[in-house]
Structure 1
Amino acid sequence: MNSWPGSAIARKETSDSVNYEQRGQKLKDLGHCCDHRRMSDRMNMQRSIASAAILVELAIEHGMTMAQCLDGTGVTPAMLADPTAEIFARQELRIIQTMVRELAEVSALGLRAGYRYRLLTHGIWAFAVISSPTVRHAWRIGVDYMDIVYSFARWRFDADEDAGIATIDYTGVPAEVRTFLIERDLAELVTVDRDVFGQLILPDRVELPCTAPEYVDDLVQLLGTRPEFDAPVTRLTISGALLDLPMPQANPYAAALAGQQAAQVLQRRRARHGIASRVRSILLTRGADATQEDIAAELRLSVRTLRRRLDDEQTSYRELVAETRQMLAEELLRIGATVENVAARLGYSDASSFTHAFTRWTGTTPGRFGRAAR
């Protein structure tokens, strides 16, 4: 992977006809698809069947049938019984949507679900977290690899010496399931904390993007503090003193191994397949400036057929171009390129425009990303 950025850079440097201003505008025009792309990518990622099995068990206990739970999902009872099975995130989301609709009268349904997720339900992610040296590092590694577990939100963790702030954004998921997912993730987080420490690591402040429910006392008991409701996003503030606590099972060798395995799982689950994989491979070889007509010709397809086949895979040429540009930006930042240099290489008119786009893609600034990656 380290070979292609250099070839792309060389092509850009030897091309006298590049109009950076024009290309920068074109990239900004692509920006509006990034949020949709991220959510689409997340829905098409595979995940362990374990979470779906937990949800179906809960639903059946509250009166739903197996057939109701799995209707329209493509998930079978045999798959639920197979601990090695994987499904797509969109299939689990369908189960959740059905539960929320059919069990609307059940109070605190999301909390009830979250309490059932134990530390080891999360597989290699759990080992990467518990073997971390400190709570601060555990938060960072947990958020970095959040896509291999069960949340549907976009997570971000920022910390300095005084405090850490975990921002959890659910705006990309259907509105009718957001409260359920917020409650599930919070209860799941508390359960993991208790499995690791034997007690809850209490946050200083909790902000939630929903109105206070009738069972608000359950949330207070769960979190150890009364949440602030109607916030723009879910946000947890944790004191620096807590972040610097050592993890009870810290082990540098286990942490390195678990981190490597978590990265491999993430890479495998994010990998494109089918025609999308072939398109991205060509973009990586020829550069993201290749036109859709160029790609179609190389694949010996008409542009119309290419569009249809990408649509069948729930993606588009524009999404793949944006994804490739993000990959190039991340790789250049990892090898030490400056923000200004990367902005110019990708055709942005200035570093500010690139920084805005990169933050939309990743939830962090290119400067912060580069420092953390080196």
Structure 2
Amino acid sequence: MADGHAQSRSITSAALLVEFAVGRGLAAADLLRHTGIRERDLIDAAAEISLAQELALMRNVVAGVGDEPGMGLMAGLLCHPPSLGVLGFALMSCPTVREAVDLALRYADLSFTVARHHLVVTGDDVSIIRDDSGVPADLRRFAVERDVAAIWTIQRDVMPLRPPITRVAVAFPPHPVYEMFGAVLGVEEVVFDAQRSVLTGPSSIQKLPLPQANVATARFYERQCAELLQRRKHRQGVSVRVRHLLIACGGIADQSHIAAELDISVRTLRRRLADEGTTFRELSTETVGLLAEEFLVTGMTVEQAAQRLGYASVSAFTSAFRAWKGQPPGQFARENRGRIAARSATRP
């Protein structure tokens, strides 16, 4: 997932996550701890972060608000078309529902989702099928919930009638909150313990015209979407490139090695990072922390994670991890893998 973790994303999704958690009594500073995201970045519409940073923030949000069913649904209700910037305006200007869906899928990298989706039409049904294999297991439920609620909210804002979602399938056990939310959404059927998450509606809805349709405006904003995506792919700041290289190196690299990879001097590297408001030490610590969490969540032992990250001893790794997360790595691994196992154990 190195490439995915290093890709640039808008700050908007992260800002909405912080808004949701702050609304539940958490402090922004705690939510942003060890993410490399600064509070002032959250109000900068032009700011960009990596997927790894957003996942780290999401993990802090889940830990802070409590990993209970329904939390992601409430977070997703904060997502509206204007929050998506040019993509949101492009969606609202599309002539039909199908063109809006195609646009959203084509420019998914500009949206709030951390997963992949594709459209399937079968007879009288049209479905949006989710692939969250790239999302850490401990965050999948929250991420799925947020995306389902956000898709519904955005559809409601864009369409002249209640979004006709007839069936929702989720890869989680039954819970009363899902039944309640399904009733609010007007969903006819909710399927639990599915192999994958799917939103289904009548295929006839694809031809429905949108009330703010304007072909010229839609084309204008779609060009802006394409240009923005292209700029993000080719205009990465030095800090983003450093994170990418650190992840590729498993977090084990010094300044001279990274500077050589970037074909610049160590002095130039330091100056450019300072211009972006960070240091190599901060980026290295942040990256190692993110990798440590991912290693432990996905099943590595504390000893294996320490060795993988180049620590001379388990005790040194434990001390560093305690400084990052406020708890020893063994406890973090047990708590997070325990939640994953508990969810998996209830599936057939």
Match of 2:158 among 196, 217, 228: 196
Match of 1:41, SS state, is helix
Conserved? CA contact 1:201–1:242, under 8 Å: no
1: CA distance, partners of 2:228 / 2:180: 35
Conserved? CA contact 1:42–1:147, under 8 Å: no
Aligned residues: 248
Match of 2:64 among 94, 102, 115: 102
Deviation track 1:16-41 (CA, whole Å, cap 9, x = no partner) reads xxxxxxxxxxxxxxxxxxxx4xxx33
Match of 1:245 among 193, 199, 208: 208
1:265 aligns with 2:228: yes
1: CA distance, partners of 2:4 / 2:231: 13
CA distance change for structure 1 residues 268 and 216 in 2, over 3 Å: closer, same or farther?
A: same
**Residue in 1 that maps onto 2:190:** 227
2: CA distance, partners of 1:240 / 1:201: 13
1:169 aligns with 2:131: yes
Match of 2:199 among 236, 260, 274: 236
**Residue in 1 that maps onto 2:53:** 91
| Greater Cα radius of gyration, structure 1 or 2 | 1
| Cα drift, residue 162 of structure 1 | 3.6
The CA RMSD over aligned residues, in Å, is 2.8
| Cα drift, residue 159 of structure 1 | 3.1
1:72 aligns with 2:44: no
2: CA distance, partners of 1:235 / 1:107: 18
TM-score (norm: length of structure 1): 0.60
Match of 1:147, SS state, is helix
| Cα drift, residue 62 of structure 1 | 1.9
1:1-374 equivalence runs, <5 A:
36=1, 40-104=2-66, 108-159=70-121, 162-225=124-187, 226-271=189-234, 309=261
2: CA distance, partners of 1:113 / 1:63: 14
2: CA distance, partners of 1:112 / 1:49: 19
Match of 1:128, SS state, is helix
CA distance change for structure 1 residues 61 and 204 in 2, over 3 Å: closer, same or farther?
A: closer
**Residue in 2 that maps onto 1:30:** none
2: CA distance, partners of 1:105 / 1:169: 21
Structure 2: state its 5+ residue gaps: 242-256, 263-282, 288-348
Structure 1: state its 5+ residue gaps: 1-35, 278-304, 315-374
Conserved? CA contact 1:42–1:152, under 8 Å: no
Deviation track 1:113-169 (CA, whole Å, cap 9, x = no partner) reads 111111110111112222222111111111110111110111111336743221111
CA distance change for structure 1 residues 231 and 136 in 2, over 3 Å: closer, same or farther?
A: same
2: CA distance, partners of 1:166 / 1:229: 16
| Cα drift, residue 85 of structure 1 | 2.0
| Cα drift, residue 69 of structure 1 | 0.3
| Cα drift, residue 198 of structure 1 | 4.5
Deviation track 1:334-372 (CA, whole Å, cap 9, x = no partner) reads xxxxxxxxxxxxxxxxxxxxxxxxxxxxxxxxxxxxxxx
2: CA distance, partners of 1:160 / 1:56: 38
The one-letter code of the counterpart of 1:147 is: D
Comparing 160-169 with 184-193, greater Cα deviation is found at 160-169
Percent identity at matched positions? Answer: 33
CA distance change for structure 1 residues 232 and 200 in 2, over 3 Å: closer, same or farther?
A: same
The one-letter code of the counterpart of 2:130 is: I
Comparing 213-222 with 230-239, greater Cα deviation is found at 213-222
2: CA distance, partners of 1:219 / 1:43: 31
1: CA distance, partners of 2:118 / 2:184: 22
Conserved? CA contact 2:164–2:202, under 8 Å: no
